[in-house]
Amino acid sequence: MSAAAVRAVHNLSPHSRTPVPRRARRAPTPRRRPLAPSNASKGDDNPMGSFPEGGLAALNQDDLPAMRRACLKVATDAAKLGAAVMLDKLGADVVKTKANARDLLTEVDPEVQRIVESSVVAAFPTHGFLGEESVPGGWEAGSAAIARLLDTGPDWLWIVDPIDGTTNFVHGVPLSAISIGVAYKGELQVGVIMDPFAGEIFSACLGGGAHCNFAPMRVGEERSGTEAVVVTGYGATAESADAMLKGMKALTDLPVRSVRMLGSAAIMLAWVAAGRLTAYFECDLNAWDTAAGALLVREAGGRMTDLVTGDEYDLKTRAIVASNGATHDELRKCLVDGGVRALADYFKE
């Protein structure tokens, strides 16, 4: 790890805050800012709160408020350690492909996952852990993995994507993130998304609101589809591409203000929560892509549902639409009427 990357992990304090613009209450986009270990002081403005004497081992696992604060601290600190590696190794070579030639893996993905998993095991040895790099490629394997853990795993489950946006990362595009969601009995409790290249930590605890670099953030105030900036993406299959193109055509016919693609589900969800984007849709994503972002969006005042059915998001939901809430029903109807389907629906024919 370079000296620059080490220094980059030591400078962000929850007490250095950037004001949130008043009209849209959007999280600002700062210049690249160095990162530091989390602050667990007793200050009321610190979402991580404080912990009992004896540390994490002394916590009652059924004390959900205390556990949320503890998991938030562990997730944030682990993400910062992983971020230092990502900063050092942007543009890393592909070591293999997974589901197909477009589903990439670098040496950095498992390295960051090991960092996060080691932090979780050290703090909470009885918790379950689902990381992307522990699961074979393909939507069937991802669906089976989360279903198995929700049905038979421990009450506490960590759902982690070590590098969301691997293709961006491989090509030296600084738009990728570490995504960490924590659930208790299937309900999301904590979400952390770390963007190392912008120096931003997006975080949320259930019932505690959403934050960007520890300052509160809210979804945007767009009221109609014509005001909306919508983002999308697609997986490494022809069926995913078909759904994406149908969605883009439907949205541009509405018309929305703009449709964009960023290449990282975690960043797109974080930016919806921060009010920089209005909505995000995609026909198939894994739980590690969406868990942290779903909680961010909800705690920032937005909505996230199944794209096709409209049911509220849970960890088994794969086709998603996330929005600022005010535009949600209009945009989802536009997509469904335009022929957008869940990836799984293509294989029922």
pLDDT digits (tens, 9 = 90+) for 228-252: 999 999 988 899 999 999 999 999 9
The whole model's pTM is what?
0.86
* Cα–Cα distance measured from residue 7 to residue 9, given in angstroms and rounded to the nearest whole number: 5
- Is 18 part of the annotated catalytic residue set? no
Which entry of 164, 239, 282, 306 is annotated as an active-site residue?
164
Q: Which pairs count as long-range contacts for 92-101, CB under 8 Å and 24+ apart, including other chains? A: 92/169, 92/170, 93/170, 94/170, 97/137, 98/136, 98/137, 98/138, 99/137, 99/138, 99/236, 99/237, 100/137, 100/236, 100/237, 101/236
Which entry of 166, 237, 290, 305 is annotated as an active-site residue?
166
* Cα–Cα distance measured from residue 246 to residue 89, given in angstroms and rounded to the nearest whole number: 36
Q: What are the tens digits of pLDDT across the range 168-209?
A: 998 999 999 999 999 999 999 999 999 999 999 999 999 999
- Is 349 part of the annotated catalytic residue set? no
Mean pLDDT calculated for residue range 27-43 = 42
Which entry of 200, 289, 306, 330 is annotated as an active-site residue?
289
What pLDDT does residue 289 have?
98
Closest C-alpha to 267, from 141, 148, 160, 163:
163
Which entry of 77, 109, 117, 132 is annotated as an active-site residue?
132
Question: Between 98 and 220, whose confidence is greater?
Answer: 220
CA angle 29, 131, 134 (to 5 degrees): 140
* DSSP 8-state assignment for residue 312: B
* Cα–Cα distance measured from residue 336 to residue 306, given in angstroms and rounded to the nearest whole number: 11
- Is 132 part of the annotated catalytic residue set? yes
CB atoms within 10 A of CB 57: 9
- Is 345 part of the annotated catalytic residue set? no
- Is 163 part of the annotated catalytic residue set? yes
Which entry of 146, 159, 163, 320 is annotated as an active-site residue?
163
Q: At residue 246, what are phi and psi to the nearest 5 degrees?
A: -65, -40
Pairing of β 156-164 and β 128-131: parallel
- Is 337 part of the annotated catalytic residue set? no
